[in-house]
Chain A
Amino acid sequence: MTYSTDISGLGADHHWKFDGNSNDSIGSANGTDTSMLYTSSAIAEDATNCAETNAVGDRVSIPTTTDINNSAQARKAVAGWFMATAIQNPPKNIYGEGDASQAFRFILGWGNNLVFEVDDPSFTLQIFGDTALEVNRPYHLCMIFEGNGYGNELRAYLDGVEQTSAEPADRQPDATTLTARSVPEFGDPAGTVAVGGTAVILIAPINGKWNHWATWDGVDAVLTDMEVKETLFEKGALPDITISNSTESAMQTALDVYSSTVRDNAPLCIRIEDCTEGNFSLELDNITFNTLASIHIQYTGNDTLTLINKNGSDCSKTSVTGGGTIVLKTRTTLTITAKDVTDNSVIIGARVYIEADSGGDLTSGTEIMNTTTNGSGIATVSFDYTSSQPIIGRIRQGTSSTYYKNGIISGPITLSGLTQTVLLIPDE
């Protein structure tokens, strides 16, 4: 299923793919371009190119349409992909409907900070993005309006994450509808518009890029958080790296190429396709991710992919788009030292045993560690941590003198593993 199909599957009324033109692939509100370019690479899935503005007056105008702008709307949603190629100096219009009096607008403000705004004679609502848009990094934007006959709120999303810093803070329009507005425009508005209820002149981003913008009206406009995140954002995000479908071993080899790297701020860092062998595991060997990256790893298959962070890897944001599951683990080390309580000497050859207790991810009784201490009295084992794991652990040395009484290892196993010195009491 293509990304375009996913969008239409959510009941969008209009969809401008911007893959070579500004045609409406669902409705008939084809856009009119003013100096738009379609030569740059797409910034989202299911497109080859994107719409681009490189001059202040560039725009795509959408014909006035009842279910977009030309009516009072009790429920409305607009979403799409946008990227700026530079920090914008004056504020820019990403998408907007209306003028200085009533508007529905995505604004790129100073320092590339986002403002999601609706204006009406009876209210002005602004939601502020929590992250300045990094240049040359695509973002998915979404804004949803519900009048007080429905949810009575304005919601805004950045890469599928709801933005909640708003003015007023309650984000409530307290009005039945959003008054009809003037035509929708991508880029430079033809007329005067408003920001915060105050008339300003907005122009097109330089450069600004767009893919896959869609509008909803009515019940379909009330998109859920999950629909915004998992369908509109995650399914449209382009990966920096793709680990293609193959055997587990081959996919591991492919992934190991990126060991000891730091992945950039991106909507999607690594996409992992399905494995030919069903459920599979891959280790991330010292792969770290920019904290602003929206998805670290995405799995597109329908099996279970176990991802193991090791050697400092910090993958934490995952996405599944094919019905499968990602089990995220962190490889930790369990280090148990056995010593004699009387003289603190190390105990060699003691049996160290740890099993899972109830209350964790592992089935109670699952053996975690069953080995003996080495010449330094130490026994270690690797453990792939998912969540805090209660344990039952013990140490015994009853085969040869010096004999010891049973020692207890206490848990749980945490993200940092388990390091413990157990003092054993001689049993002779």
Chain B
Amino acid sequence: MAIVDDFSVTAGGNIRHDSGSTNYTVLELHRWLQDLADDASAVGNDIIDITSGTPSERSTDNIITLNSPYNIDDIAAEYLYDGSITQGGGDIVYSGLVVVGSLYGTTTLQIVQNNLLYDTDAPFWGTGINVDAANNILSRMLVKTRDAGADVDGKRIRIYAREWGETFAEFSVTMGLGNSTAAIFTNEDLNNQTASGTVATWSTITNVEGYQGIDVDGDSTVEYYYSQWNRATYTINQLYERCKYITRRGTAETIHTMDGELFRGITAQWDYDNEATGPYVEDETLSWGSGTTAGTGILLALDDNGVTGTVWIQLLTGVNPTDGLQITGGTSSCTADVNGSITTRSLPSVFLGQSTGSALIGGFGIGVEAADLTNSDKLFDLTNTQRVPPNNVTFYVYGLISGDRVLVTNDSGGIDTTQMTLSTALSGATETAIVVNSIPTDTAQTGTLRVVLDDGRHRYIAYTSWTGSTFTIGSSDWTDPDDAAISQGVYIGYIDKATATTQESFTVVYNADRTLFVRVRDGGGTPIKTFETTGSLGTAGGSTTAIRTSDE
């Protein structure tokens, strides 16, 4: 079929697509119209001939203008490509888009314009239209970028590839006349192999949105993030898959009150002052400026300090604000002025960040519960400072029963009673600190000690914290005979308790391999011979299982 069969032109200048599935370049449209325009008289349903006004003008092969009253509609535009169509005296522009690159599998690209999906989840270009594989052209089509005399979001669009099982990608472009090019590359995502239907059931993976303080690096000081993800019983990579699920093409999920398909993460931040009628409310839409300075963004995190503060947003439409511009909250009606320059942030292809399969490199501002992280993970807080969780390793003693007494200490051929030595004698009635020569760095912040008293007893004492060489203990009486002189031994009871369960464990921050001494005794109703062994605490922790040899 030819264009003359698929299109028609009314006497009023309406150029419409009637039938067929063939697509035509804008130049072919122009040639067809010009061919009609030099006919002696119009025939059929194409009402153009020599008596008609000139229907179209060609600036280049890719830039065509339809002279009023000639016009196409959105449907007709779907069958055109490779250039732009301007009509209505410039009030309407369909810009040409060429998407190049390579895609893994069958991908439906999405276009976001003015914070909306262009032509829904199932756009007219499907999995590719007007493809030219030899030239790595994935799709070519027209996108309406100006309507009713106004540019649609400054002619800005964003092309997405968010296909399940494939890497995500996006490309931003400002359209114009002729063709504008976007580049998209995707591959199989080896860290996204779970069926989407399965991931759909992982609803226990949750997130606390907004400004969150988390001590990710274990330095006792919290850092701030715009989320706090809880991976529940799932792995860190499964958390990654869940986040892809929320933002994939066709998702029904929302995040920060947005359609997941539109969510990207933090794109900019700024400090503000002169707050009035505040505060802002997280997840509300902020707006600013007018004309070329106008923009909107969703507030993802807020650090409010009264009349000053800091906001982190995802830009939705328009452009970022500038210093001094007033920002208005769409829900709160709060106003404040930008104070200083805007800091933009780069986005990962998946908002959560990158997954290595077993670890997470977080996107800017992404927060995860500290307990859900390992030393292999890396997060970036809202100051863009990398935070690495400590290497928490756990040693387990299995094979216990309630009533067993479990002791795990450092090993030196048995209990290492001189793991540490007192630097200060303990003899007072209200001692609150135990000062030793040196505390190992992998010592837990809280725990128990054994102090070898002058009379040889090993006194059990709990500490609440330590720093430097000093353990902090509750006020306690160390007067004679419960005293201990300088150089008396002190050792850590990594586990030093009567268990009520079948296993005990302790977690410390790994520093170096440690050999542990393990003793289990039960002299109760089902007595066992003393179980003693050594165990190794390594980078992956360690464990041992008590052998219960009956002593009856």
Point out residues on A near B: beta carbons under 8 Å. 350-351, 353, 355, 367, 370-371, 394, 396-399, 403, 405-406, 427-428
Output the nearest chain A residue to B41 by Cβ-Cβ distance: A370
* A396 in contact with B34 (CB, 8 Å): yes
Kindly state the separation between the CA atoms of A233 and B57 in the bound complex, as whole angstroms. 62
Residue from the list B37, B40, B51 in contact with A398, Cβ < 8 A: B37
Output the nearest chain B residue to A398 by Cβ-Cβ distance: B34
**Chain B residues, Cβ within 8 Å of A399:** 34-35, 38
Can you list 26 contacts pairing A with B, beta carbon distance less than 8 Å? A350-B38, A351-B38, A351-B39, A351-B40, A351-B50, A353-B50, A355-B51, A367-B51, A370-B40, A370-B41, A370-B51, A394-B54, A396-B38, A396-B54, A398-B31, A398-B33, A398-B34, A398-B36, A398-B37, A399-B34, A403-B31, A403-B34, A405-B58, A427-B58, A428-B58, A428-B61
**B308 CB to nearest chain A CB (Å):** 61
Kindly state the separation between the CA atoms of A398 and B54 in the bound complex, as whole angstroms. 11
**Chain A residues, Cβ within 8 Å of B39:** 351
**Chain A residues, Cβ within 8 Å of B31:** 398, 403
Output the nearest chain B residue to A392 by Cβ-Cβ distance: B51
Residue from the list B33, B51, B57 in contact with A353, Cβ < 8 A: B51
**A319 CB to nearest chain B CB (Å):** 39
**B89 CB to nearest chain A CB (Å):** 18
* B57 in contact with A405 (CB, 8 Å): yes
**Chain A residues, Cβ within 8 Å of B37:** 396, 398, 406
Output the nearest chain A residue to B36 by Cβ-Cβ distance: A398
Output the nearest chain B residue to A408 by Cβ-Cβ distance: B54
A-B contacts besides A396-B54, A398-B35, A403-B31, 9 pairs, CB < 8 Å? A351-B39, A353-B51, A370-B41, A394-B50, A398-B37, A399-B35, A427-B58, A428-B58, A428-B61
Restricting to B381-429, which residues have a CB under 8 Å from any CB of A?
A: none
**B28 CB to nearest chain A CB (Å):** 12
Kindly state the separation between the CA atoms of A27 and B36 in the bound complex, as whole angstroms. 77
Kindly state the separation between the CA atoms of A367 and B49 in the bound complex, as whole angstroms. 13
* A370 in contact with B50 (CB, 8 Å): yes
Q: 1/0 per residue B21-61: CB within 8 Å of A?
A: 00000000001011111111100000000110010011001
Kindly state the separation between the CA atoms of A183 and B50 in the bound complex, as whole angstroms. 76
Kindly state the separation between the CA atoms of A211 and B358 in the bound complex, as whole angstroms. 131
**Chain A residues, Cβ within 8 Å of B34:** 396, 398-399, 403, 427
* A406 in contact with B58 (CB, 8 Å): no
Output the nearest chain A residue to B32 by Cβ-Cβ distance: A398
Question: Which of A371, A398, A399 has most B Cβ within 10 Å?
Answer: A398
Q: 1/0 per residue B305-331: CB within 8 Å of A?
A: 000000000000000000000000000
Kindly state the separation between the CA atoms of A350 and B40 in the bound complex, as whole angstroms. 11
Kindly state the separation between the CA atoms of A428 and B34 in the bound complex, as whole angstroms. 12
Kindly state the separation between the CA atoms of A402 and B54 in the bound complex, as whole angstroms. 18
**Chain A residues, Cβ within 8 Å of B41:** 370
Kindly state the separation between the CA atoms of A403 and B38 in the bound complex, as whole angstroms. 11
**Chain A residues, Cβ within 8 Å of B40:** 351, 370-371
Kindly state the separation between the CA atoms of A353 and B39 in the bound complex, as whole angstroms. 10
**Chain A residues, Cβ within 8 Å of B38:** 350-351, 396-399
Kindly state the separation between the CA atoms of A353 and B41 in the bound complex, as whole angstroms. 11
Kindly state the separation between the CA atoms of A390 and B36 in the bound complex, as whole angstroms. 26
Q: 1/0 per residue B221-260: CB within 8 Å of A?
A: 0000000000000000000000000000000000000000
Output the nearest chain B residue to A369 by Cβ-Cβ distance: B50
**A164 CB to nearest chain B CB (Å):** 51
**Chain B residues, Cβ within 8 Å of A396:** 34, 37-38, 50, 54
Output the nearest chain A residue to B39 by Cβ-Cβ distance: A351
**Chain A residues, Cβ within 8 Å of B61:** 428
Question: Which of B36, B39, B50, B61 has most A Cβ within 10 Å?
Answer: B50
Kindly state the separation between the CA atoms of A254 and B526 in the bound complex, as whole angstroms. 149
**B503 CB to nearest chain A CB (Å):** 83
**B171 CB to nearest chain A CB (Å):** 32
Output the nearest chain A residue to B34 by Cβ-Cβ distance: A398
**B195 CB to nearest chain A CB (Å):** 54
Output the nearest chain A residue to B27 by Cβ-Cβ distance: A428
**A425 CB to nearest chain B CB (Å):** 11
**B32 CB to nearest chain A CB (Å):** 9
Kindly state the separation between the CA atoms of A370 and B54 in the bound complex, as whole angstroms. 16
**Chain A residues, Cβ within 8 Å of B36:** 398
**B201 CB to nearest chain A CB (Å):** 60
**Chain A residues, Cβ within 8 Å of B50:** 351, 353, 370, 394, 396
Question: Which of A350, A371, A394, A405 has most B Cβ within 10 Å?
Answer: A394
Kindly state the separation between the CA atoms of A427 and B54 in the bound complex, as whole angstroms. 13
Kindly state the separation between the CA atoms of A427 and B37 in the bound complex, as whole angstroms. 14
Kindly state the separation between the CA atoms of A286 and B214 in the bound complex, as whole angstroms. 108
* A406 in contact with B54 (CB, 8 Å): yes
Restricting to B51-101, which residues have a CB under 8 Å from any CB of A?
A: 51, 54, 57-58, 61
**A207 CB to nearest chain B CB (Å):** 65
Output the nearest chain B residue to A367 by Cβ-Cβ distance: B51
Kindly state the separation between the CA atoms of A428 and B30 in the bound complex, as whole angstroms. 11
Kindly state the separation between the CA atoms of A370 and B37 in the bound complex, as whole angstroms. 12
Kindly state the separation between the CA atoms of A397 and B39 in the bound complex, as whole angstroms. 9
**Chain A residues, Cβ within 8 Å of B54:** 394, 396, 406
Question: Which of B31, B41, B58 has most A Cβ within 10 Å?
Answer: B31
**Chain A residues, Cβ within 8 Å of B35:** 398-399
Kindly state the separation between the CA atoms of A396 and B57 in the bound complex, as whole angstroms. 12
**A77 CB to nearest chain B CB (Å):** 57
Output the nearest chain A residue to B61 by Cβ-Cβ distance: A428
Kindly state the separation between the CA atoms of A427 and B27 in the bound complex, as whole angstroms. 11
**B326 CB to nearest chain A CB (Å):** 50
Kindly state the separation between the CA atoms of A349 and B38 in the bound complex, as whole angstroms. 10
Question: Which of A350, A367, A371, A396 has most B Cβ within 10 Å?
Answer: A396
**A377 CB to nearest chain B CB (Å):** 15
**A10 CB to nearest chain B CB (Å):** 53
**B76 CB to nearest chain A CB (Å):** 20
Kindly state the separation between the CA atoms of A394 and B53 in the bound complex, as whole angstroms. 9
Kindly state the separation between the CA atoms of A406 and B36 in the bound complex, as whole angstroms. 12
**A267 CB to nearest chain B CB (Å):** 48
**Chain A residues, Cβ within 8 Å of B57:** 405
Kindly state the separation between the CA atoms of A353 and B53 in the bound complex, as whole angstroms. 12
**Chain B residues, Cβ within 8 Å of A351:** 38-40, 50
**Chain B residues, Cβ within 8 Å of A371:** 40
Kindly state the separation between the CA atoms of A405 and B34 in the bound complex, as whole angstroms. 9
**Chain B residues, Cβ within 8 Å of A397:** 38
Kindly state the separation between the CA atoms of A360 and B215 in the bound complex, as whole angstroms. 91
Across the A-B interface, the 5 shortest Cβ-Cβ residue pairs: A398-B34, A396-B38, A351-B38, A353-B50, A406-B54
Kindly state the separation between the CA atoms of A403 and B41 in the bound complex, as whole angstroms. 19
**Chain B residues, Cβ within 8 Å of A427:** 34, 58
**B393 CB to nearest chain A CB (Å):** 74
Kindly state the separation between the CA atoms of A397 and B40 in the bound complex, as whole angstroms. 12
Kindly state the separation between the CA atoms of A24 and B38 in the bound complex, as whole angstroms. 73
Kindly state the separation between the CA atoms of A367 and B38 in the bound complex, as whole angstroms. 15
**A109 CB to nearest chain B CB (Å):** 63
